Amino acid sequence: MSKHFYKKIQSAKNMQEMFRKINPILFDVSLRDGIQGALVESYPTEKKIEIFDKIIHDENPPKMEIGSIVSYRHLPIMKDTIPLHQYCIAKKSDIYVLVPSITKLNIAIFNKIQNYSFITSVSNAFQLKNTCRTIETTKADFFQMFERIEKYTKNARKKLYISCIDHCPIVGEISRDTIIEEIVYYNTHYPFDEICLSDTCGKLSYDNFAYIVNHATLLGVNIEKLSIHLHICPKNMDNVEQILKFCWQNDLNKFDVSTLETGGCSVTMNRDQLLPNLSYELFYAILYKYMVDELEKK
């Protein structure tokens, strides 16, 4: 928990009880999504280490993602992911690295990386542009990737990002039922520990989000497996607040956050389309207001 937020609620027992009941589990993406569109010279390894240490000191999130093993031609800012991982894992165990392909997974396994993030999409156009793979090819790859993880890595944790919930930057709005079908497929066919619904364009509506989550859980997806990755557009703030409130009221308690005011998929989106991730500050501000309002109703 943020030290600042803890100080804010520590004198109110009923607030502490409500916070424990909501039990938000934050997953820090500052050093992966937060910087992937930035200039390489802006984030040398030494600065990344400073950011990591500051996050641990100020926020101490349960889990962190610190980079991607990707083509350095496309994302040169991720070239130091492996040495950065070696530094981070010595200080914190739940460190994740994104691996987009079987080849990159092999590199991760060889370097003793234990926790993996994977990426897919509900938009085939987005998936092709982002990874040079179709959705169907990605699904086939996952079967092989999990065989290798099971063979070579013990107790690995596996997170899946499903991008373009509910808009794609290339083809526009995606059908809610298509999104539900894809979520259920990944939940049924692969042993992911976490399925993260990623609001790639910062346009996710409350109505669509509630519909998607309610129907996915009716079809067998455990709410405890779901998480959400929001990109924040000032024009969509009402939806952001309603989405977070829905999560807190329905036991969806996993949220991606960042300390940086940058973020977004620079491979698939123009720079002027990129939006920051949900920040700690905004997350806790909305949570505090929600808790105050709920307690005033009692």
Residue 266 confidence (pLDDT) = 65
Residue 130: is its pLDDT beyond 80? yes
pLDDT band, residue 7 (cuts 50/70/90): confident
Residue 286: is its pLDDT beyond 80? yes
How far apart, in whole angstroms, are the C-alpha atoms of residue 255 and residue 25?
A: 6
pLDDT tens column, 161-191: 999 999 999 999 999 999 999 999 999 999 9
Residue 268 confidence (pLDDT) = 67
Give percent above pLDDT 90 in the chain: 83
How far apart, in whole angstroms, are the C-alpha atoms of residue 221 and residue 64?
A: 24
How far apart, in whole angstroms, are the C-alpha atoms of residue 232 and residue 217?
A: 25
- Which domain CATH number covers 9? 3.20.20.70
pLDDT tens column, 217-274: 999 999 999 999 999 999 999 999 999 999 999 999 999 999 998 877 766 666 677 7
Any residues with CB less than 8 A from the CB of 134 and at least 6 apart, and which?
124, 127, 128
| Structure-token match 């997806």, residue found | 221
Helix 237-249 with 206-218: angle, nearest 10 deg:
30
* Over residues 133-144, mean pLDDT: 96
Q: Output the CA angle 97-101-107, nearest 5 degrees.
A: 60
* Over residues 108-136, mean pLDDT: 95
Contact assessment for residue 283 and residue 4, using Cβ atoms and an 8 Å cutoff: no
Between the alpha carbon of residue 35 and those of residues 38, 55, 130, 176, the distances in Å are: 5, 15, 16, 30
Judged by DSSP in three states, 239 sits in helix
The mean pLDDT of the chain is: 93
Of 278, 284, 227, the closest CA to residue 29 belongs to 278
Residue 193: is its pLDDT beyond 70? yes
- Kind of pairing between the strands at 95-98 and 63-68: parallel
Residue 244 confidence (pLDDT) = 98
* 42-51, 70-79, 169-178, 220-229: least confidently modelled range: 70-79
How far apart, in whole angstroms, are the C-alpha atoms of residue 292 and residue 81?
A: 41
* 65-74, 140-149, 157-166, 245-254: least confidently modelled range: 65-74
Residue 1 confidence (pLDDT) = 62
Identity of the highest mean pLDDT range in 3-7, 8-12, 115-119, 272-276:
115-119
Buried b (16+ CB within 10 A) or exposed e, 64-101: bbbbbbbeeeebebbebbbebbebbbeebeebbbbbbb
Residue 293 belongs to domain spanning:
3-297
Domain count, the chain: 1
Neighbours of 250 (CB within 10 A): 14
